[in-house]
Chain A
């Protein structure tokens, strides 16, 4: 999930008797599946939670360009290189849609970016892992975008209108990426022994980080109750994770790769795959900023922002001059 570990600003779900008339009317709308729109009244905590979640989601799209961008100049064929370029461009667009959705809640994009750069807002844990070989790019498309789709398809039904509409657009493009990624993996897995080894290595390293994208297990995720009641979140972390695992295991088997987790086994009784618990302490560590690439990622973003300051200022000064000239001519 691109937005994980979102704490709702309050603790627990407010019981109906304690709600004001406005809050009750709001909850009634949510319960009746009526979308909330920018100018509608909403509880402050709903607004804050959404700014945090959509903002974090947008940041993830932008930071997510870095691990894949790492291989643009080294893509092994021109076709793969063009695909990767188009994908990274799509991610920039997704960031743009999401920042726009966050802005309808009254927070400016520059402010959100400032909070990210100051380390006061987060982005998805997955982008703190390095891309060490070409197969990683295929695996990111297949697994990371695959996991993102599972999460985002569910979010198409989220209660805030602008967020849900952004998800509809994004899901369409994200599904190209997953297919492109899988196709790149197929080439590697069915290629030379050395290529197959790279594919296996990428799968082994990215499997657990990808299943951690859905956030901690439901028993640990105390903050999601209110998000569920407000239908910001429509499915629990564990439900989404299970869905992702169930759909991905047959894809691994098709590639002829070894399962990256000895605990992965079909459970006929449950009708789902069993799997091993990931090392949650690793997730909490990465989210705290101590993952393999956290420092590099943020340094790259802040450097781009700082070094680009004079360009942004120049464009703005030029726009003002042009507007003034036009004004004088009228």
Chain B
């Protein structure tokens, strides 16, 4: 079974982004970029499936500008066997990415497709579900545990109030939650090896996908600032403030 993993290059999660003063977006020039944290978990899970002998090949795929090659190399250093870049300088929204992934799924026929549950830049939480819909596959989102056996995947999901377990027939789409695994650190020898692995580049046109955005961003603004608070010297003052000033208790 082949496993396909989708990875996205995003602003590093430790960076506090700034909104551009002209309101056209956030300033990501000269900002540190990394692999989306949920996607690292997805690559780690695919690699573990391979190490357990469940998967024969792990293919990492990314859609976006040329620099996404670095993200794919990271995925290959974690354990992916080869990479696919769908290269475009256009803004890609989840529906467009899902269509690109669908085209690659048709080509590669993976048994399992693993994505992160959401990207930490657009915070959409859509692509996996959309891919499942377009490819007419079952989905198991927000996975915290995955067991593969007999053509089915048994997936424990994080839902409001606790956990639930589903069984989906493969091929299936799984999206990862934080607690699925702890991604390994990439080692220098693996980074060197990753440089030699195969990386194919396609354009959206090669795949016959129109990636024009459906949703237009009119403006991006700063969230409202909270007014500065005060430090209280002791618990008694705190209780007094809560009771008498804010009247919340």
A and B pair up: no
Residues of chain A whose beta carbon lies under 8 Å from any beta carbon of chain B: none
